[in-house]
Amino acid sequence: MVERADKPIDELTEAEAEVELARLAAAIAQANIAYHQNDAPDLNDAEWDALKRRNDAIEEAFPGLVRVDSPSLTVGAPPAEGFAKVRHAVPMLSLAKAYTDQDVVDFIQRGHRFFERDKELELVFTAEPKIDGLSASLRYENGVFVQGATRGDGTVGEDITANLRTIADIPAKLAGTGWPDSIEIRGEVYMTYAEFQALKARSAAAGGQDYVNPRNTAAGSLRQKDAAVTASRNLRFFAYAWGQSSAEPADTQYDAVQKFAEWGFKVSPLMVRAKSVEELVAQYRLIEAQRSSLGYDIDGVVYKVDRLDLQQRWGFVTGEPRWAIAHKFPAEQATTVVKRIDIQVGRTGTLAPVARLAPVTVGGVVVENVTLHNEDYIKGIDSTGRSIRGDEPIDVRIGDTVVIQRAGDVIPQIVRVVLEKRPANAAPYEFPHECPICKSPATREINPKTGKEDSRRRCTGELVCAAQAVERLRHFVSRGAMDIEGLGAENIDLFFNAGLIKTAADIFTLKDRRAEVQAALGARREAQAKLREEASGKARKNVRGVEDRNYEGLEKLFNAIDARREPELDRFIFALGIRHIGETTAAVLARTFSTMEELIRVGKETAAHADDPHSVFPDVDGIGDTVIEALIDFFGNQRNDDVIEALLKQVKPKPYVLSVSADSVVAGKTVVFTGSLEKMTRSEAKAMAERHGAKVAGSVSAQTDILVAGPGAGSKLKKAEDLGVQVISEDDWFALIAK
């Protein structure tokens, strides 16, 4: 099965979205392990962030598909310490991706649809190599390089000015004339193969570390504390974009990049202008043919709308420009063997199978685990029973030889089972029907609407299952949730196993049980010391007993817990770990209900009217039936009442206060467009409203502030009038946003 990732989200079917969310969860989990535990990142921050953002965007579009092991529920961004933070005045974006020529056709067609009112318009694009390095933003004031930063999460990066100054391709002063007084030049820092090989050889001769691939090495080289080390790595830089600028460098992408060259930057010699899919794809093939002789890694070709005014009009979706796309080269593949299949139990009891592989390198990264998603996936069928591997479904067995690839060069997945190599004694995998942790039955729920079985098997031991309880607690303290420093997964496990915490409220009373906490920490230290002793064969001199003396660490922990007694409401709601409620939905609920008390009141009231929830629960954009049902389940359960009541004795979530940017009169307003629009397409209208800070909804409700009605408006107009919503024409709209 070759699945494509990074299709535009509004084109994903539900089944595709589900597969992709599974894949994203696995990739992010693996990246986190590589980053936090193995100290060997397999993704750079930008890539990690792009995955996370895509995950969140898909979850927002399909709230019903939020996985129990979703990265939005379980993890925070990998921390980066040591460099000062730099806020990018203009965010550093990532790019949507195309994997096939058809994806490129779709992209161009979207462009033509968006601009279809402009009859005369000829859409011209640029095509240029996608350099596989790290993006950097370089600020020039009066032609002098003053500050350089990494991309970071796109909004906040790290100040690596000193290191960037060592790169010969980055001019300390701009050459030529005509540069804006202040401009951020953006581009890619990369390492050539020659430099990479030389460094590897030097390191091997000196008995030093091994380096995985040029990109990771370039990343490591940029984050050196000592700029002399960076200098010794001979990094390179291509300029291809810009951020904040006191004046536009040119009218088109192409001309801007030519200017960069005049100002002393290296720019890709392979950039061209193209007017049709054929011309773009021809340049893609040409660049692909030269790939192996370039001397540095590229992973695709980037197409951008050439005219800047059209870029501006076409606009952005969550963190990506609509007007650009990265046409990726095909993923690399490798063959390996499935050694074991493990089952992990998530926070809401989902049994998640993971194949443990004989380690193999794919695209320069060692892959050892790959998610098997669910029971059907292992059997080789999708949720409709159709084969996903071969004409007849081919299952995955322990001992099988499999071909894996990193989709979008990032997420490992099984592409194919090599049946000729299947051992004679390999038996079909029997998916457990009981939870491996608490032994409760694990069942597949029937979706009452479709009558279909859920693809996931779930442990039914909700309250008795230690795995679920621990996962809930881990989630509660995690970064996106209550973010309690020093109380990571390890300590949660320890305190849970020692019987010190059963539910979240217990965390806040740990201080009252200081002696027991100390004993638990001391016992762990003891056990660890013993392990080390056994491993090293040396006897310890200093036996430190259960009487732990690390008061300072303990005090820090208690202080960190106390510091979170007044969390933001959205974090608190998210931390509760209600099914289907990720960060985005939690924020919507916080905005809608303002206080926890109000959410509880409406939640319980809705649960009491579960047969007609809409008679109680307001019509809120972004809250669908799946979420409402999850709220009913949660607030209709007495046991959760007790847990929340105990928790609210310890914690007082801050009421939500709306902060509206004062920039535009429509900022923060909810707008609905209806009828036929004559001056703009529907998607252009949406993009424009969003640029001015407004929210666009599909239907009129009491939450609607403005209805923009064109000719032929019908039921929405009537409803708006009934509700007393402000109704304006398309012309009024333009006048309004011009204010």
Q: Which residues bind ligand IVH (CB under 6 A)?
A: 46, 93-95, 128, 130-131, 135, 151, 188, 240-241, 302, 321, 324, 326
Distance of CA 569 to the CA centre of its chain: 22
Beta carbon of residue 137, minimum distance to ligand IVH (angstroms, whole number): 10
For residue 151, the minimal CB distance to ligand IVH (Å) is 6
How far apart are CB 132 and ligand IVH at their closest, in Å? 7
Closest to 526 (Cα-Cα) out of 552, 550, 499: 550
What amino acid is encoded at 187 in this protein?
Answer: G
What minimum distance in Å lies between the beta carbon of 16 and ligand IVH? 21
| Least distance from ligand IVH to the Cβ atom of residue 4, Å | 16
d(CA 184, CA 253): 15
Residue closer to ligand IVH by CB (options 241, 581) is 241
Question: Taking Cα atoms as reference points, which of 265, 318, 362, 324 lies closest to residue 127?
Answer: 324
Is residue 339 a contact partner of residue 357, using CB atoms and an 8 Å limit? yes
Q: Which residues of 150-171 are buried (b: 16+ CB within 10 A; e: fewer)?
A: bbbbbebbbebbbbbebbebbb
Among 7, 52, 97, 130, the active-site one is 130
Reduce the secondary structure of 608-644 to three states and give it as a string.
HCCCCHHHCCCCCCCCCHHHHHHHHHHHCCHHHHHHH
Residue 432's alpha-carbon distances to 244, 435, 453, 462, in angstroms, are 55, 7, 16, 17
Residue 432 in contact with residue 424, Cβ under 8 Å? no
212 vs 220: CA distance, rounded Å: 11
Query: Are the beta carbons of 436 and 458 closer than 8 angstroms?
Result: no
CB of 588 to ligand IVH, least distance (A): 28
* Smallest distance from ligand IVH to CB 565, Å: 39
Q: Which is nearer to ligand IVH, 46 or 501 (CB)?
A: 46
How far is Cα 402 from Cα 418, in angstroms, rounded to an integer? 6
302 or 666: CB nearest ligand IVH = 302
* 284: nearest Cα among 97, 144, 435: 97
User: Alpha-carbon distance 271 to 240, whole Å?
Assistant: 10
Rounded to 5°, angle at Cα 102 from 96 and 106: 60
| 182-190/96-98 β-pairing | unpaired
Q: In angstroms, rounded to a whole number, what is the distance separating the alpha carbons of residues 491 and 498?
A: 10
Nearer to ligand IVH, 67 or 97 (CB): 97
Does the annotation mark 604 as catalytic?
A: no
The C-alpha atoms of residue 85 and residue 121 are separated, in whole angstroms, by 42
DSSP 447-472: PTTT-PEEEEEEES-TTT-HHHHHHH
> Residues 6 or more apart from 260 whose CB is under 8 A from it?
185, 239, 249, 267
- For residues 42 and 128, which CB has a smaller minimum distance to ligand IVH in the complex? 128
| C-alpha count within 13 angstroms, C-beta hemisphere, residue 517 | 20
Residue 610: phi and psi, rounded to 5, are -60, -25
Kindly tell me which of 317 and 519 has the beta carbon lying closer to ligand IVH: 317
Question: Nearest to ligand IVH by Cβ — which residue?
Answer: 135
* Least distance in angstroms from the C-beta of 302 to ligand IVH: 4
Q: Round to whole Å and give the CA distance between 650 and 645.
A: 9
Q: Which is nearer to ligand IVH, 271 or 357 (CB)?
A: 271
Q: Rounded to whole angstroms, how far apart are CA atoms 469 and 467?
A: 6
Closest contact distance (angstroms) between CB of 313 and ligand IVH is 15
Give the shortest CB-716-to-ligand IVH separation in angstroms: 35
Nearer to ligand IVH, 191 or 575 (CB): 191
* Angle ∠(437,440,445) on CA atoms, nearest 5: 115
Euclidean distance between the first and the last CA atom of the chain, given in angstroms as a whole number:
53
Taking the least distance from each CB to ligand IVH, the nearer of 114 and 476 is 114
Nearer to ligand IVH, 215 or 389 (CB): 215
CB of 260 to ligand IVH, least distance (A): 12
Q: Smaller CB distance to ligand IVH: residue 152 or 353?
A: 152
- Based on CB atoms, which residue is closest to ligand IVH, 216 or 592? 216
Smallest separation, CB 154 to ligand IVH (Å): 8
Distances (CA, A) of 201 to 196, 198, 530: 9, 5, 39
Q: Is residue 296 helix, strand or coil? A: coil
Rounded Cα gap, residues 16 and 444, in angstroms = 20
Give the separation between CA 5 and CA 23, rounded to whole angstroms.
Answer: 9
**Catalytic (active-site) positions:** 130
